[in-house]
Amino acid sequence: MSEIPKAYEPGKIENKWYSFWLERGYFTPKIDPGRRPFVIIMPPANVTGELHLGHALTSTLEDIMTRWHRMNGDPTLWLPGTDHAGIATQVLVEQELSKQGLTKSDVGRERFSDVTWEWAIKSRENINRQYRMLGASCDWTRDCFTLDAGPSRAVRTAFVRLYNKGLIYRGERMISWCPRCQTALSDLEVEHKDVSGHLYHIRYPLANGGGFVTIATTRPETFFGDTAVAVNPNDIRYGDLVGKSVILPIINKEIPIIADEAVEPSFGTGALKITPAHDPTDFAVGERHDLPLVNIMNPDATMNKNASPYDGLERFDCRDKVVADLRDSGLLERIEPYLHSVGHCTRCDTMVEPQVSLQWFVRTRPLADEAINAVEEGRITIIPERFTKVYFRWMEDIRDWCISRQLWWGHRIPVWYCQDCNKLTVSVDEPVGCEHCNSERITQDPDVLDTWFSSALWTHSTLGWPSDTDDLRYFYPTSVMETGYDILFFWVARMIMMGLEDTGQIPFHTVYLHGLLRDEHGLKMSKLRGNVINPTEAIEKYGVDALRFALTTGSSPGNDIYLGKGKLESGRNFVNKLWNATRFILRSIDVELAEGAALPTTDVSTPQRVEDRWIQSRVNSLISSVNRLMEDFQFGEAGWRIYDFLWSEFCDWYIEFAKTRLQNPGVPVSVNADGSDELSPLPFLTQTLEKCVRLLHPFMPFVTEELWQNLKQRLPNGHRMPDSIVLAPYPGADETATDPEAERAMNATIQIVHSIRNARTEHKVRPDKWIEAQVYATDLLDEIASQANAIETLARVRPLAILDRTKRQPDEERALVLVLGEAEVVLPWTGMADQLAARRRLTQDREAIQTTIAQVEARLRDNAFLSRAPSHVIAMQRRKLTALEDRLQRLKSELSQLD
């Protein structure tokens, strides 16, 4: 058995173990009808390039769940996949073509599709490589792509079923349109930004010549599409004008004045131009009042013939021209600055154009009602619970879903138009002719489906639906859908709707929502701020396990996660701490083996020594709390508990106590059945470490596998253990190991060592200097006395006397007295410090504090300060005075002890 290297080298170990896991097929579950599986379908990453930190967070959280359930013996499927990401990918490929001086029109639809497929294949390979780098234990034999044959057939089937039920229709509705991408956008593809614009006050002359109505608008170029002026019915300023008409300037078109409660009297002048074809609110007003729709723009945001005489002008150029002409005609009353929120395309940052367009829509109300019931009835649980209200609000206010996109990359809409009878053929398979008149002169709809349509089917299309597959029967419904809270409506809600519609069953039992990633200052990560962390670079510098731990530890469901250099370094330090602790234990085992001692085992007899009983009690308490937290989806807190136990109780205390026994083994009082002696801590070191490594494995898979394998080689029962920690059982708590008395005794012992160390630091005692100490105890006298060697070594005290507290004589000599919960520590000044130097330092500290106290008291007597200063500042000064007075009393006490 070779000694593990002095330093942990993440790269070598990560590659070695991931290849090992893949070769052994550990991530591919077998269907076991007698066991309920645990299933996560990975949210598909867009094939638009590399993974970002958000993907690393999602991957880590899902891997934690997956590895934990696998270790608990559940048939576990984590199915990976990628999304074709319609508009996002098309924009990137168009940008690549533009570098060659080409447009998509230059290459044609077929060639463009081929080029985009090449891009997608390379991107998928890169994404999957990065997921492997992150340690994702997903079943790569089931890897899926939204444009694969199976999911594509599922998409066409779902479309046809909804169409035949009257839940998909084609109609004119208000949508967000990107003039650059020249496609309709989903709400998720629109980012609203505050824009410094203007509010234009324009006079519309009354048709009867009796004056004018002044309207306020941010978009004067759209007035060509106005079909009414609206006022609030309760606005007394315009009561006598309702029912009359105004004349649109420049084009001299007469439109009515109407009353509608959607108008806010406080906005602008209280009179609004209504442009139903170019504003969502106006569209709703137009529907209520049966107003005509006048589209004034071409797809590229230039003005069309309905805006004559500005036909062909770009929309913002048209705005400038309209404003100038209105000013010349005396109809521009005034312009004032105005900050307002304007939608922009998330892919190209172009300002979107709200407009009425002929598109395909899903009638969502019937689907939403079923989805609401599933959550209301408790069949689906949303974590954290507060997002349930958000879900209900969105679903109750849901609008019909625009699913058509004017793109070339994606699932082509399975609708064919007959050039002879003008009827539609809607079919899963490509038809040879019109289903109504058999004409072969049919043309497929050129549009593709919204990417979210195929994503909405992801939980069942990946398992074979609409076919009745073994995977679908066994693994559906899935267990958990884990994703960011920002797409609860855009994706999760749609999966629930479509899962219920297509299969009659919920798609998952639990929705786990994580927060958004921010830097250590709480700022959103962005390239502009320069605070983006590249996961690949972080892995190269800190290692995968450190990154995973930094992403998850201390986090909680639904709350944003702060991540910076400090947290990554903390993760790396923890890996190194665990590595060094394990290295010490393995070397200690090897030393004993070389001396002919028996191998330690993880199945040790009941411990006799108090520190061994203590560590067994503490690790079982940890196991119990971690399992409870994992069941409650509190992964961040579970990871933190493991970290805190390993760093503090195990490494900083138990290993240090164990070292004093290994360095001074003494004479064993008896020999246990396994051949180990009572005085050796190695069986308990080994047992605790092995359990903790298994506890930590879902969070830090690579370093735990490496350490567990090295530990396994040195255990007599190692040949009976699984080939990998991946298959090892997750630790379960042994309630019989709980030992409150041992915990009480060791807490007292640790407090004694800790207090002496603090006193040494405070009084600047040299680290190598031995000082005298007396420890007085009552109830725990025997237990503390059994730790005399450890106290002496760890606190560096000699001579050490551990005495009965009830027999202590007060003021035996000049000494520093530390009163603790279970004991009293007396440190004679003669041994601890140079009394003259100590008196000089304490005197100087006393004089400095007295000066400061005088200054604070003077300030608190100053009426000018008391009258002008805020109350919290005054309170702070009073608290400061109290703290200074307490410190002064302690200094006086220490000086009196010296005297």
Burial 504-533 (b: 16+ CB within 10 A, else e): eebbbebbbbbbebbbeeeeebeeeeebeb
Strand, coil or helix: 84:
coil
Strand, coil or helix: 506:
coil
Number of residues that this document lists for the chain: 899
Query: For strand 448-449 and strand 823-828, is the pairing parallel, antiparallel, or unpaired?
Result: unpaired
Amino acid residing at 848:
A
Strand, coil or helix: 197:
strand
CA atoms of 527 and 534, how far apart (whole Å): 11
Instruction: Give bridge partners of residue 818 from the DSSP assignment.
Output: 825
Distance from first CA to last CA of the chain, Å, rounded?
Answer: 61
Q: Which of 79, 119, 58, 123 is nearest to 535 (CA)?
A: 58
Secondary-structure breakdown of the chain: helix, strand, coil percentages, each rounded to the nearest 5: 50, 20, 35
Dihedral-angle region of residue 64 (phi above 0 means left; psi in -120 to 50 means alpha; beta otherwise): alpha
Query: For strand 815-819 and strand 823-828, is the pairing parallel, antiparallel, or unpaired?
Result: antiparallel
Contact, 324 vs 335, CB < 8 A?
no
CA atoms of 74 and 577, how far apart (whole Å): 32
Contacts of 501 (CB under 8 A, 6+ apart): 158, 161, 162, 367, 370
Contact, 441 vs 419, CB < 8 A?
yes
Structure tokens at 723: 């080939």
Contacts of 119 (CB under 8 A, 6+ apart): 47, 89, 92, 93, 96
Helix (H) or strand (E) holding 190: strand 190-205
Q: Which of 715, 698, 580 is nearest to 650 (CA)?
A: 580
Contacts of 365 (CB under 8 A, 6+ apart): 398, 400
Strand, coil or helix: 433:
coil
Q: Write the burial class of residue 358 (CB in 10 Å: 0-12 exposed, 13-18 middle, 19+ buried).
A: exposed
CA atoms of 375 and 390, how far apart (whole Å): 12
Structure tokens at 464: 């074979």
Structure tokens at 388: 């349930």
Amino acid residing at 747:
N
Structure tokens at 757: 């160390």
CA atoms of 541 and 791, how far apart (whole Å): 39
Q: DSSP character for 648?
A: I
- Where do runs of H (alpha helix) occur along 463-564? 470-475, 494-503, 535-542, 544-552
Residue 669: per-residue pLDDT: 35
Contact, 57 vs 515, CB < 8 A?
no
Degrees to nearest 5, angle at CA 71 with 69 and 74 = 50
Contacts of 327 (CB under 8 A, 6+ apart): none
Q: Write the burial class of residue 328 (CB in 10 Å: 0-12 exposed, 13-18 middle, 19+ buried).
A: exposed
CA atoms of 234 and 270, how far apart (whole Å): 11
Q: DSSP character for 106?
A: H
Tens digits of per-residue pLDDT, 168-219?
999 988 899 999 989 998 877 889 999 999 999 999 999 988 899 999 999 9
Residue ranges, the chain, pLDDT below 50: 666-677
CA atoms of 58 and 551, how far apart (whole Å): 10
Contact, 885 vs 893, CB < 8 A?
no
Handedness of CA 715, 716, 719, 720 (dihedral sign): negative
Contacts of 51 (CB under 8 A, 6+ apart): 45, 59, 127, 130, 131, 134, 535
Residue 21: per-residue pLDDT: 98
Contacts of 3 (CB under 8 A, 6+ apart): 583, 586, 587, 590
Structure tokens at 494: 């749609």
The pTM (predicted TM-score) of the whole model is 0.86
Amino acid residing at 128:
N
The DSSP-derived string for 703-747 is: HHHHHHHHHHHTSTTGGGS-SSGGGSPPP---GGG--HHHHHHHH
CA atoms of 593 and 295, how far apart (whole Å): 87
CA atoms of 189 and 657, how far apart (whole Å): 59
Contact, 756 vs 795, CB < 8 A?
yes
Cβ neighbour number for residue 832 with a 10 Å cutoff: 21
Handedness of CA 501, 503, 509, 512 (dihedral sign): negative
Contact, 427 vs 160, CB < 8 A?
yes
The DSSP-derived string for 801-829 is: EEEEGGGPPTT-SSEEEEE-SSEEEEEEH
Amino acid residing at 431:
P
CA atoms of 892 and 885, how far apart (whole Å): 11
Cα–Cα distances (Å) from 12 to 137, 450, 604, 666, 721, in that order, read 18, 42, 34, 41, 24
Angle at which helices 104-133 and 10-24 cross, to 10°: 100
Tens digits of per-residue pLDDT, 380-409?
999 999 999 999 999 999 999 999 999 999
Cβ neighbour number for residue 892 with a 10 Å cutoff: 12
Structure tokens at 591: 């030393």
CA atoms of 647 and 326, how far apart (whole Å): 74
